[in-house]
Amino acid sequence: MLLLLLLLELVLSMQWMQTERPECKLLGRAERPELARDGDFVIGGIFSFRTGPNGRIPTFKRLPEGPKCKKTIPSDYYQSRALAQLVKHFGWTWVGAVRSDNDYGNNGMATFVQAAQEEGVCIEYAEAFLKSGPHHVLLKVVDVIKHSTSKVIVAFMTHREVKVLVEELQRQNITGLQWIGSDAWITDSSLAHTKGYTALIGALGFVLISQTILGNCVQLHIGSTDSK
């Protein structure tokens, strides 16, 4: 009897060893695989182990970027060329040029001078200063204007430089000038409260109008994000 029981136990043990073990199953999403078998305990929740920074899941390397819209701003390049054509239109072929000594003034005036030469307009002088700069630089600019023969001034400046310039011109009683202005000051109402503002009466320039463009702004700026 004992021998029979031992034989039965041996047969059952051999059958258990031959039984196919449960296969591993793929759990979760394909981009973040988790292998487990039936009966396993899940430890760690949704977090998975990584061996190094290069093992990060590509999906989470960067946040998704939404559509970007850029404001469309007119270029001073075209304004400068338009000012040169304006001067030529009125037959002023002998003019002076004054600018703010910064990127706005220097870049804008450089384009104007080139365009003026193409239009046959001659530049008698080209001066630059900043309101925050040394006062003697401003006095030098005023002295150049005072002794010049041209009576037309193209001013590519901000309203701050225009303010201190016309105040000094009034103090020295320098009048009879025709001003051609850039957009940074030509419509600035604060100049009406400047001493000597009457010298600016009759100034000419261009007004840049802001306008909302309806439609898909992303389509308007495709390929315009690369700086040149």
The per-residue pLDDT for 125 is 97
Residue 224 domain flag: no
Residue 211 domain flag: no
Residues 86 and 45 in one domain: no
Residue 219 domain flag: no
* Residue 169 DSSP one-character state: H
- Please classify residue 111 by burial: count the beta carbons closer than 10 Å to its beta carbon, then call 0-12 exposed, 13-18 middle and 19+ buried: buried
Cα 23 to Cα 27: distance, rounded to the nearest angstrom: 12
CA angle 155, 156, 160 (to 5 degrees): 85
| pTM, 2 dp | 0.61
> Among residues 127, 154, 157, which one has the least CA distance to residue 143?
127
Phi/psi for 196 (5° steps) reads: 85, 15
Q: Rounded to an integer, what is the distance from CA 123 to the centroid of its chain? A: 32
Q: Which two tokens stand for residue 63?
A: 């946040």
Residue 143 domain flag: yes
CATH number of the CATH domain containing 120: 3.40.50.2300
Residues 23 and 112 in one domain: no
The per-residue pLDDT for 225 is 42
Residues 111 and 148 in one domain: yes
Residue 144 domain flag: yes
The per-residue pLDDT for 189 is 87
Distance of CA 148 to CAs 3, 86, 118, 126, 141, Å? 131, 21, 23, 11, 11
Pair 148, 96: CB distance under 8 Å = yes
Residues 86 and 164 in one domain: yes
Residue 217 domain flag: no
CA angle 156, 158, 163 (to 5 degrees): 110
Residue 165 domain flag: yes
The per-residue pLDDT for 99 is 97
The per-residue pLDDT for 192 is 85
The per-residue pLDDT for 7 is 63
Residues 87 and 184 in one domain: yes
CB atoms within 10 A of CB 40: 12
Residues 112 and 157 in one domain: yes
Residues 99 and 170 in one domain: yes
pLDDT in tens, the chain (228 residues): 666 566 666 655 665 555 555 555 555 555 455 555 555 545 544 444 444 444 444 554 555 555 555 555 557 888 999 999 999 999 999 999 999 999 999 999 999 999 999 999 999 999 999 999 999 999 999 999 999 999 999 999 999 999 999 999 999 999 999 999 999 999 888 888 888 888 898 999 988 776 666 665 544 444 444 444
The parent domain of residue 44 ranges over: 2-60
The per-residue pLDDT for 56 is 46
Cα 102 to Cα 174: distance, rounded to the nearest angstrom: 26
Residue 71 domain flag: no
The per-residue pLDDT for 187 is 87
Q: Rounded to an integer, what is the distance from CA 50 to the centroid of its chain? A: 39
> Among residues 41, 117, 56, which one has the least CA distance to residue 85?
117
> What's the total number of domains in the chain?
2
Cα 177 to Cα 108: distance, rounded to the nearest angstrom: 21
In which element (H, E) is residue 5 found? helix 2-18
**Which residue bears the tokens 């840049």?**
208
Residues 148 and 86 in one domain: yes
The per-residue pLDDT for 51 is 46
Cα 164 to Cα 158: distance, rounded to the nearest angstrom: 11
